[in-house]
Chain A
């Protein structure tokens, strides 16, 4: 029988029991802990790398970054060749991937029939799903012999003669396939999806009214895109480029397998090089002394810091586009 008396809410016996009664406090605590775990990881990675790179940090200080000789046996640890190598390959990758990625983004956002857009976009994103080590194997056995070698030979023969083009050292030989160029090109393929996906989203977020205004003034499709849509989304696209750069900096396996792994500084794209991630991966097994290990960890620390900074800048840029309020009107004369 259903009681017709109003039921009083049962008083709990103690604050602790009350708190635990519905499980809310533990629940909130657990999820807060998990959230903290994520933040903690980001901080923790930095902290641990900082701690374990102390020997070389203390010993060499900033000269670690500019010292060009890397001689573990002689206990000389200069990271400059790797920093430059990383910068070179990343630069090549950006120069190739940016126009291509932007072109893809424009095509998908502005021109492609809507049905195709999701499919083609997905296929481009699949490029990012292929593991780095598979890119590396493809690089060694297929891409270098079939594409990079002929290309490099062509560039070397055409532009690499020091007597004819003394101010153009980037295509000078000798050239054996594994090179900064090879690594840069493969990196370009790997970061293209990042650049194109972000740029595409940025372009799709540009308000329709902007395009209509341009078209109504008699612009062609291209003029609308180039002069109105792209400028509107520029900061977001820039963010995408920076994220792509961040990815390129940290790529390990593909680069290691095709860059040649020679710690020399050369102005030529066609000579073998070395990147920060590659030297860590390659020489890890050989690092016997604490200083050697510390040096490699310090390189890891450098990677961490740059990646962190680039990520922050990029996210802020991409975020700023979505926040921009294009709404005109609604007000005073």
Chain B
């Protein structure tokens, strides 16, 4: 071809070099960005392990609060508190979340179904402190700070996660299962519970794991609901200790002992969160391999 354009292009060796250079440079930058993004992860994990392991021992985990003058004590009260708060929240969030997921899957294109999906997304994007404030106005003003209130707040935060993962899993179960059951004359609820739910069980389990991971570290909403405490208590209508609240208190405390303890708590929480997240991922992977 001998058009002016073709002639111009055949002589453009320098331009070609530039294009090649820009290509390599920009692609390299994206790889760099990825590395850079992983640096904080590695850094935080390293620090948490390094600083947290010094104060972490059996006494620390099994004793309750003691003032620093007496050695600082441990976090057993907080562990129990978190277990109760999260456990109660799960009891509330899981059934409602699963049922809501059933609804969405049963009415995928109705206005209400879409609204619920949207609502789930919106709920998951709400700042957790706002959720805490909400429960405060609903419950705490009347009845004071309590574990109930804390659990409710956490339940609201867990709800969208459970609903979402259950819904995704239900969508993956083959329609044929559902049709087979209905075709045999089984009522809708039986079909859902005996046929679809077991099939979606891994989704529910992973959803629960991820939801627990999410709320185990939540501090802000508990500030207005469970308030935190230094005592070991299982009373649901009184304030209750929790790991993240204790972490916060100890981290901003001027005492070095408390700071070290804060890191130990961080190690416990991060270990739990990582375990749950990685576990959920592994289960999902195993499951998808099974379904192939």
Contact = CB atoms under 8 A, between A and B. Distances in A.
Nearest to B50: A142
Interface stretch (B55-63, B233-241, B268-276): B268-276
A95 interface: no
Contacts of A52: 137, 141
Contact of A251 (B22, B127, B248): B127
Q: How large, as a class, is the contact surface on chain B?
A: 35 or more
A107 B30 contact: yes
A82 to B, nearest CB: 13
A37 B29 contact: no
A269 to B, nearest CB: 19
Contacts, number: 249
A130 B129 contact: no
A221 B27 contact: yes
Given A41-B156, A196-B37, A250-B127, A48 B137 contact: yes
Contact of B129 (A101, A221, A246, A250): A250
A189 interface: yes
Contacts of B178: none
Contact of A133 (B115, B133, B188, B247): B247
B248 A136 contact: yes
Interface residues of A, number: 85
Contacts of B269: 131, 134
A253 B243 CA distance: 14
Nearest to A189: B40
Contact of B99 (A30, A51, A138, A257): A30
A134 B44 CA distance: 9
A323 to B, nearest CB: 13
Contact of A44 (B31, B134, B216): B134
Nearest to B159: A38
Interface string A9-33: 0000000000000111011101111
A308 to B, nearest CB: 6
A130 B188 contact: no
B65 interface: no
B44 A42 contact: no
B66 interface: no
B218 A131 contact: yes
Contacts of A307: 125-127, 130
Interface stretch (A71-79, A167-175, A277-285): A277-285
A123 B38 contact: yes
Contact of B34 (A33, A120, A140): A120
A104 to B, nearest CB: 5
Contacts of A216: none
B163 A38 contact: yes
Nearest to A250: B127
A290 to B, nearest CB: 11
B137 A49 contact: yes
Nearest to B134: A45
Interface in B87-122: 95-97, 99-100, 102-104, 106, 112-113, 115-116, 118-122
Interface of A: 22-24, 26-28, 30-35, 37-39, 41-42, 44-45, 48-49, 51-52, 99-104, 106-108, 110-112, 120, 122-124, 126-127, 129-138, 140-142, 189, 192, 196, 220-223, 226, 243, 246-247, 249-253, 257, 277, 280-281, 284, 297, 300, 303-304, 307-308, 310-312, 315
Give 8 closest A-B pairs by Cβ, nearest first: A250-B127, A131-B217, A103-B33, A27-B189, A34-B99, A22-B187, A35-B103, A107-B30
15 contacts: A27-B189, A27-B192, A34-B95, A35-B99, A39-B115, A49-B133, A127-B41, A129-B277, A134-B217, A134-B270, A140-B252, A250-B127, A252-B128, A300-B129, A310-B125
Given A131-B244, A246-B125, 9 more contacts: A45-B131, A103-B32, A133-B219, A134-B270, A138-B44, A220-B20, A252-B129, A253-B220, A277-B127
